[in-house]
């Protein structure tokens, strides 16, 4: 299992938290996503999903990754 903390731009309320949480829970290989406004701490199985996949799923749900 790998862990990453990803910073996210554009989140402003619990609705945003719910959207990001839903997007990550739907990704195979993500075992835990702890979402806050502006960031997510995620635990994932590197053999199934990459950090880039996780970032892509967040962007697809409408938010920007802060590098």
For Cu ion, the closer of residues 17 and 27 by Cβ is: 17
Would you report the helix, strand and coil content of the chain in percent, each value rounded to 5? 35, 35, 30
Provide the token pair at 51. Answer: 């950090």
Min CB(33)–Cu ion separation in Å:
17
- Identify the residue among 3, 9, 12, 32 touching Cu ion (CB under 5 A): 12
- Identify the residue among 13, 47, 52, 60 touching Cu ion (CB under 5 A): 13
**CB under 8 Å to 42, separation ≥6 — which residues?**
3, 4, 5, 6, 24, 30, 32, 33, 34, 54
| Residues numbered 14-53 forming contacts with Cu ion, rule: CB under 5 A | 15-16
- Tell me which residues touch Cu ion (CB under 5 A): 12-13, 15-16
């Amino acid at each position: 299992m790998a862990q990453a903390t990803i910073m996210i731009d554009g989140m402003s309320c619990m609705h945003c938290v719910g959207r990001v949480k839903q997007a990550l829970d739907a990704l195979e290989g993500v075992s835990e996503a702890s979402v806050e406004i502006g960031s997510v701490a995620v635990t994932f199985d590197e053999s199934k999903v990459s950090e880039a996949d996780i970032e892509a799923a967040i962007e697809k749900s409408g938010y920007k990754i802060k590098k």
